[in-house]
Amino acid sequence: MDAEAAKLIGAGLAAIGAGLAAGGVGNVFGSFLQGALRNPAAADGQQGRLFIGFAAAELLGLLAFVVAMILIFVA
Amino acid sequence: MGGRVLDRVVNVAGESGKIDPMHQFQIEPLFGSENWMIGGYNLAFTNSALFMMVVLGALWVFMWGGMKREVVPGRWQMAVEGVTGFVNNMLTSSVGPEGKKYVPLVFSLFMFILMANFIGMMPFGIVPGVHPFTVTSHLTVTAVLAVLSFGTVLVVGFWKHGLHFFSLFVPHGTPWWLLWLIPLIELFSFLIRPFSLALRLFVAMTAGHVLMKVLAGFVINGLNAEAAWVPFVVSIPSFILMIGITLLELLVCAIQAYVFALLTSLYINDAVNLH
């Protein structure tokens, strides 16, 4: 296979990671909402933890994006 | 990015002859300052530096307008007090009463990142000859911010606890037969913090701006197409999508600044209270 083509295919495969991270972020917010609707009084106190979970899940998707960018522009 | 990367970016743009989504991140010397040298280093006044000054100016005006200390606060003072109160609450809830000392640091980080993100999203491009630049879309800038946060944790931790700070790597209740593994994992997760802080902010801003430019390219190329149906099928839906993505990006700007400040205050909590 041509090296350039392999790079572009790899960058496309990295997009799978971004999609999976989208599922992860959705899971974080969905689970938070489930818990918050059961006990709305406790929801406000957990917003910090919500955003920590969001940040951790999102970072992995962003890393997939970095991999794609490195494959296209740097490697 | 290095010179080789820029060459490639230019090449990619040249090959397609279309809109280059990476051009917006290029650092250019302004006002004929490209030959300013100090000690063998080129210290040109770049567009990045210019927009840092713009952010600083905006932040200064914002704070100056709200620090009049009126007994009955007006709207502006309420806005400033709202932000300071927000950072204050964040630190008191995650660090405790000792967190008050770190409000100025976390407030400066939070407001600088927030303003830089927002000013990078502002449509300055409609003024001819003005190219907006997002300061936080460069790893060098976000890495310095992350090093500020991480360095504070190290200095505060060793200052307050001395070598006892290393007990951070052995959480309470670690079973003795895991003592060889847990400190390694904790050390690794501790050392990776500045990288994750810097990368998160940098990539979130870069990805958002690339997406915006790609969509803008769809709009413009669709309008330039020869077939008459293309603008209706491509340009108008892309434009509507772009409006939605812009709103999403403004949300991401605020969330990234918030996450940076929140994680910084959690790390400071580790340094002050040791788990």
Tens digit of each residue's pLDDT (9 = 90 or more) over B6-33: 444 444 444 444 677 777 787 877 777 7
Which of A48, A51, A73 is facing B9, going by the closest CB pair? A73
Q: How far is B228 from chain A (nearest CA, A)?
A: 32
Residues in chain A, pLDDT under 50: none
A54 vs B: CB within 8 A = yes
Q: State how many domains chain B has.
A: 1
DSSP H helices, chain B, are 3-16, 47-66, 75-95, 103-121, 139-161, 182-191, 193-224, 230, 236-273
- Taking CB atoms and an 8 Å limit, are B203 and A74 in contact across chains? no
d(CA B12, CA B22): 10
A51 vs B: CB within 8 A = yes
Burial class (CB in 10 A: 0-12, 13-18, 19+), B217: middle
Residue B1: its chain A contacts at CB < 8 A?
73-74
Among A7, A50, A59, A67, the residue to mutate for chain B (most B Cβ within 10 A): A59
Range of the domain at B221: 3-273
A29 vs B: CB within 8 A = no
Among B197, B214, B259, the residue to mutate for chain A (most A Cβ within 10 A): B259
d(CA B51, CA B40): 25
B264 or B28, greater pLDDT? B264
Q: Which residues of A40-54 are buried (b: 16+ CB within 10 A; e: fewer)?
A: eeeeeeeebebbebb
Give the chain B residue whose CA is nearest to the CA of A74: B5
Residue A59: its chain B contacts at CB < 8 A?
196, 199-200
**Predicted confidence (pLDDT) per residue in B114-146, tens digit:** 999 999 888 887 888 778 888 898 889 999 999
Q: Given this model, what pLDDT does residue B5 score?
A: 43
A6 vs B: CB within 8 A = no
Q: Given this model, what pLDDT does residue B18 score?
A: 62
Q: Write the ipTM.
A: 0.78
A22 vs B: CB within 8 A = no
pTM above 0.90, yes or no: no
Tell which CATH architecture fits domain A3-74: Up-down Bundle (1.20)
Q: Given this model, what pLDDT does residue A59 score?
A: 83
